[in-house]
Amino acid sequence: MVRLAQPWSLRYPLVDGQGNFGSIDGDGAAAMRYTEAKLTKIAEEMLEDIDLETVDWRNNFDGSLKEPIMLPTKFPNHLCNGTMGIAVGMATNMAPHNLNEVLDACMLIIAKEGKEQADGTRYEVTIEEIMQIIKGPDFPTGGFIFDPANILEVYKKGKGGIVMRGKIHVEDGKNGSILVIDEIPYMVNKSTLVSKIAELVVDKKIE
With b meaning 16 or more CB within 10 Å and e meaning fewer, what string describes 44-73? eebeeeeeeeeeeeeeeeeeeeeeeeeeeb
> How many angstroms separate the Cα of 198 from the Cα of each of 67, 124, 166, 178, 201?
50, 52, 17, 15, 5
Question: Mapping DSSP to helix (H, G, I), strand (E, B) and coil, where does residue 66 land?
Answer: strand
Query: Does residue 186 carry a catalytic annotation?
Result: no
The catalytic residue among 34, 123, 155, 186 is 34
C-alpha distances in Å from residue 150, one per residue of 63, 107, 116, 205: 47, 25, 32, 29
Query: For 205, phi and psi rounded to 5 degrees?
Result: -85, -25
**Side-chain half-sphere CA neighbours of 167 within 13 A:** 9
Q: How far apart are CA 100 and CA 108, in angstroms?
A: 12
CA distances (Å), origin 179, targets 24, 135, 169: 20, 29, 6
**Which positions are catalytic?**
34
